[in-house]
Amino acid sequence: MRRTKTQIIIIENKEVKDIALLPAAEGIKQGKIVVFPTETVYGVGCRFDDESAREKIYALKKRDYSKPLAIYLLSTGEIEKYAVVSEAAEKVAGKLLPGPVTLVLPGRSGGKVGFRISSDEVLRRLISLCGIPLAGTSANVSGEQSPVDGKDAIRAMDGRVDFIIDAGKTELACESTVIDLCGDEPVVLREGAVSAEEVARVLGCNVRKAF
């Protein structure tokens, strides 16, 4: 893959300043690829409605096209624009979001859609400045460890993306918990920062583990 000239943006002490994030936000609007912090691991994303940019993410990650990218939003109220929101989804959203959860729901246009509503203030400000949801996933080549520090994200993605926002170490330093609510039975597809037991307590029912 041809190397890209990557612009690195340093955020000191999680101090969120619009002037620092504006180049990345403008880049996203233009179809650029950006690595950003979350509370779990570093992510890589683009504007959600840009098919060409999404394809670049699949290529740079060597990601299987059968694995959809998540949509990163600012609030739980936005989810219903893109997915069918059940009572179970409302419970998870009300108790666990914003936070380290990827919520998988039936998409309004069919298929399954994953949603991330991060509590990380750098990412939240970036999305706000873009004025559009992001599509993304973890900032690593598939099969390799997800970066939990800006330096690791730079090592993994420098020359592959247009911007890297280095905000130091992530708060939780582990993956989000992936909860699939598309069927009759809630399924935890990946256990991360939130335990399957906590998900079961929030939902008030048994939860199957797919691992």
Locate the domains of the chain by residue range: 1-74+117-173, 79-113+176-211
Spatial CB neighbours of 208, under 8 Å, sequence gap ≥ 6: 185, 186, 187, 188
Q: Are 180 and 187 spatial neighbours (Cβ–Cβ below 8 Å)? A: yes
Spatial CB neighbours of 15, under 8 Å, sequence gap ≥ 6: none
* pLDDT at residue 198 greater than cutoff 90: yes
pLDDT one-digit tens code per residue, 91-114: 999 999 999 999 999 999 999 999
How would you classify residue 190: left for phi > 0, otherwise alpha for psi between -120 and 50, otherwise beta?
Answer: beta
Q: Give CA–CA dist 195/201, Å, rounded.
A: 10
Percent pLDDT > 70 in the chain is 99
DSSP string, 15-33: ---HHHHHHHHHHHHTT--
Categorize the per-residue pLDDT at 14 as very low, low, confident or very high, splitting at 50, 70 and 90: confident
pLDDT one-digit tens code per residue, 37-71: 999 999 999 999 999 999 999 999 999 999 999 99
Categorize the per-residue pLDDT at 3 as very low, low, confident or very high, splitting at 50, 70 and 90: confident
Bond preceding residue 98 cis, omega within 30 of 0: yes
Taking CA atoms, 174 is separated from 42, 131, 179, 194, in Å, by: 10, 28, 16, 10
Q: What is the pLDDT of residue 4?
A: 85
Name beta bridge partners: 36.
Answer: 43
Categorize the per-residue pLDDT at 13 as very low, low, confident or very high, splitting at 50, 70 and 90: confident
Kindly state the average pLDDT of the residues 125-133.
98
* pLDDT at residue 184 greater than cutoff 70: yes
Kindly state the average pLDDT of the residues 151-173.
97
* pLDDT at residue 2 greater than cutoff 90: no
Q: What is the pLDDT of residue 173?
A: 97
Give the distance from CA 209 to its chain's centroid. Answer: 21
Percent pLDDT > 90 in the chain is 95
Q: Hey, how many other C-beta atoms are within 10 angstroms of the C-beta on 184? A: 6
Q: Locate 55 and state its tokens.
A: 């394809």
Taking CA atoms, 89 is separated from 15, 70, 92, 157, 199, in Å, by: 32, 16, 5, 33, 11
Kindly state the average pLDDT of the residues 12-22.
91
Mean pLDDT of the chain, nearest integer: 96
Q: What is the pLDDT of residue 72?
A: 98
Residue type for position 172: L
Q: What topology does CATH give the domain 1-74+117-173?
A: DHBP synthase (3.90.870)
